Amino acid sequence: MIDVVVVGAAGYAGAETLRILLGHPGMVVRGVTSAADAGKPVEAVYPALSGTGLRFEDLGADEIAERGSLVFLSVPHTASLGLTPSLLAAGATVVDLSADYRLKDPAVYEQWYRTAHTSPELLPRAAYGLPEIGRAALVGATLVACAGCYPTATALALAPALEAGLALEGATVVVDAKSGVSGAGRSPSPSSGFCAANESVRAYGVASHRHTPEIAQTLQALAGHVVPVCFVPHLVPATRGLLATCYLPLSVETSTSKVLSIYRDRYEGEPFVTVLADGAMPATKDVRGSNHAHVGLAVDASSRTLVISCAIDNLVKGAGGQAVQCANIALGLAESAGLDARALAV
């Protein structure tokens, strides 16, 4: 069994990571940390996770590395910068759910996150944590930078089309994405709390959301050239779930059936991606609680635009589930280990 520590386990993404790990056949959780909740039993914060025998602790990097050879960092940006170098030096494998090692150019990180990157020498070592896009780089990786929730859904929606050269070069790809309020974390801002979000839908972070450079970086890698992207996220009155609808100007005339064939070939054998039938589009409720992504598409012939939607659970495929999937690959375990749960039926 692989000994695991979850850092930041009291947050929503951390708690979801812990929930998945508690059912993992090849991993055992040896510690969970939260400075704010140190000393409390896990069930005092999350009654749904009762019976674990675990208590939140406030541990330093050395103590974390002593407890676990595998460490999940579910922490805000910059917090990983203070832990990852020490954990790696101690021989731990680090799976980072934050943004600190996703962007390959430290100047871009500093521009968008308004803080200096203190370990840029680790950026080339970090494997991007989106298995369906970069599985080979994850094998044997000791530092995984898990993809963000919005970039995950966007990349899964667009990857087959970009790889097939269907995009009109130089044309802007529009990404209209919507997420439940759990994406704001356990301590939401006044604008993302229940009273503000209930019975309301609003755009936020327009032209300024920090996932924008990650999306651009990933799309460029897929297409082999710069892909201009206009990314607009929205907050919707749901606890969890994320839907990204992408509008891709086409370089050629084609049909929905032809593009569906490309998508089905690209995702054949992928354990967590389902390409829906012609005429079907994904819904967040159909992936809720699972590590699955549903993709649906249609060609708008009148505007020569490919419209693709991808639905994921932002806390699972967009966070904890994806982190476990990446760790499985990095450590040579079955990729779906601990992730077999189907979506909730109702």
Rounded Cα distance, 45 and 58, in Å: 15
Cβ burial, residue 79 (10 Å; 0-12/13-18/19+)? middle
Per DSSP, 291 falls in state S
Check residue 214 and give its pLDDT: 98
d(CA 125, CA 71): 16
What is the pLDDT, as a whole number, of residue 185?
Answer: 77
Q: Distance between alpha carbon 235 and the CA centroid of its chain, in Å?
A: 17
Percent of the chain with pLDDT over 70: 99
Please provide the DSSP assignment of 171-210 as one string. PPEEEEEEE-GGGG-SS--TTTSHHHHTT--EE-STTT-T
pLDDT, tens only, 58-77: 999 999 999 999 999 999 98
Residue type, 156: L
- Beta carbons of 320 and 32 less than 8 angstroms apart: no
Residues that are catalytic? 149
Dump pLDDT digits (tens) for 10-31: 999 999 999 999 999 999 999 9
SS3 percent helix, strand, coil of the chain, rounded to 5, is: 35, 20, 40
Q: What average pLDDT score do residues 296-310 get? A: 98
Q: Where in the chain is the domain with CATH 3.40.50.720?
A: 2-125
The CATH code for residues 2-125 is: 3.40.50.720
User: Is residue 40's pLDDT more than 70?
Assistant: yes
pTM score: 0.96
* Largest pairwise CA distance in the chain: 62
What's the pLDDT at 344?
A: 87
Q: What angle do CA 166, 112, 206 make, to 5 degrees?
A: 65
* Average pLDDT of the chain, as a whole number: 96
- Residue 128 half-sphere exposure toward CB, CA atoms < 13 A: 17
Closest CA to 205 of 194, 219, 191, 187: 191
pLDDT in tens, 72-110: 999 998 999 999 999 999 999 999 999 999 999 999 999
Segment holding 196, helix H or strand E: helix 194-197
Query: Could you tell me how many helices (H) and strands (E) the chain has, helices first?
Result: 11, 14
Stretch(es) of the chain classified as CATH 3.30.360.10: 150-314
DSSP 320: I
CATH fold of 150-314 reads Dihydrodipicolinate Reductase; domain 2 (3.30.360)
**Residue 191's pLDDT band (cuts 50, 70, 90):** low
187 burial class (0-12, 13-18, 19+ CB within 10 angstroms)? exposed
Q: What is the pLDDT of residues 227-281, one digit of tens each?
A: 999 999 999 999 999 999 999 999 999 999 999 999 999 999 999 999 999 999 9
Which residues, in sequence order, are bridge partners of residue 233? Answer: 177
Residue 323 scores a pLDDT above 70? yes
